[in-house]
Amino acid sequence: MAELKNMTVVTSGKLRKTAYDLLDANTNLLAWKEGGRTPADIFDGWLAQADALYSIGNIKINGALLDKAPNLKVIAQASVGYDNIDVAECNARGIRVGNTPRVLSPAVADLAYGLIIDSARKIARGWQHVASGKWGERKGLGFGVDLAGKTLGIVGMGDIGSRVVKRALASDMRVIYHNRRRRSDDAALGAAYVSFEELLQTSDFVLVTVPLTNETEGMFGKKQFEAMKQGARFINIARGKIVDTEALYDALSSRHIAYAALDVTDPEPLPGTHKLLTLDNITVTPHIASSTVETRDAMAKLAAENILAGLNGEPMPAEVKA
């Protein structure tokens, strides 16, 4: 590795130790050491010196921010999603961009599967029932449904989706999927390719795992929810803006959709007073799909490796292009 101590790396928030140690040993690291985001006045001062930016959270990286960092060469987003970054603008300025795919897939698949189970068995609702002193009134929860024999439709069959397939098959579910392109290994995987329309019409559970793009924003609205089976369950672990929140609320209120389980929302964070949270047929978790110690350490390390490779002019482990 070339000498990079003259290269300045700045962070938009506190680093995990796996990333801090790697970057501190090899670069001139300006890292915020308190909780939360780096304060704006400090961050702006750092950007003026930055050769690389380690992006934590969902900070907006656009032309206005890039103008503050005239020497910037590399941006590493510490997540798989990078819809907060104007990649085309970065590429036009010769700035390389990296993200952290694959390393978070097992943890995200676990949470997705957990939300599928919760949507079927009302686990979170059961806990709320007990905590509010209603154990003896548990019949008010109603019955759940089995997973065995049900059809799971996965929208977006990437690494996360393929891992969910394995978990679903263990529960004796039938799995279908829709992707931009059919996977060549779907038979071996145990999932059948169908059109988006057929998936909506025949799935008992619909899981969304697609990235947020111009094409997928608002992908699930009134028309799509009405096309789903009466009593279907809807799970989203992708991005909140893929779903029209008002349309989802209406579908849940009418009980056309029996239950929704969401790790992402629009808006996000979801206010505690939001009307979605007044419903008794929804579970919402606060965007925690990758929130395990092991996964966050692996993501941090990969983001740091992206920076070091980018500054060295080497292939980045996970580079994004417009």
State pLDDT tens for residues 129-156.
Answer: 999 998 888 778 899 999 999 999 999 9
Residue 62 lies in a domain: yes
Active site residue 287: yes
* Virtual torsion, Cα 176, 182, 184, 185, nearest 10 deg: -20
What does residue 81 show for φ and ψ, rounded to 5 degrees?
-75, 140
Active site residue 268: yes
Give yes or no: residues 55 and 42 share one domain: yes
Active-site pick, 287, 294, 296, 314: 287
How many CB atoms lie under 10 A from the CB of residue 181? 7
* Entry pTM: 0.92
At residue 137, the pLDDT reads 80
Active-site pick, 137, 197, 215, 268: 268
Q: Which helix (H) or strand (E) holds 29?
A: strand 28-32
Give yes or no: residues 131 and 220 share one domain: yes
Give yes or no: residues 38 and 154 share one domain: no
Residue 1 lies in a domain: no
Give yes or no for a contact between 16 and 53, defined as CB atoms under 8 angstroms apart. no
Give yes or no: residues 83 and 214 share one domain: no
| Domain count within the chain | 2
Q: For position 57, which CATH number holds?
A: 3.40.50.720
d(CA 76, CA 98): 5
On the 0-12 / 13-18 / 19+ scale of CB atoms within 10 A, 275 is exposed
| Residue 148: domain span | 105-284
Residue 307 lies in a domain: yes
Give yes or no: residues 111 and 51 share one domain: no
Give yes or no: residues 263 and 307 share one domain: no
Give yes or no: residues 138 and 259 share one domain: yes
Active-site pick, 125, 163, 233, 239: 239
At residue 1, the pLDDT reads 52
Give yes or no: residues 120 and 234 share one domain: yes
At residue 11, the pLDDT reads 98
Give yes or no: residues 227 and 308 share one domain: no
* Cross-strand partners of 218: none
Q: Which residues of the chain have pLDDT under 70?
A: 1-2
Give yes or no for a contact between 32 and 54, defined as CB atoms under 8 angstroms apart. no
**Token couple for 114:** 């957990």
Residue 180 lies in a domain: yes
**Mean pLDDT over each residue of the chain, to the nearest integer:** 96
Encode pLDDT of 244-260 as tens digits.
999 999 999 999 999 99
At residue 322, the pLDDT reads 80
Q: Looking only at Cα atoms, what is the longest distance across the chain? A: 68
At residue 2, the pLDDT reads 61
3-state secondary structure of 243: strand
Give yes or no: residues 124 and 254 share one domain: yes
Give yes or no: residues 153 and 125 share one domain: yes
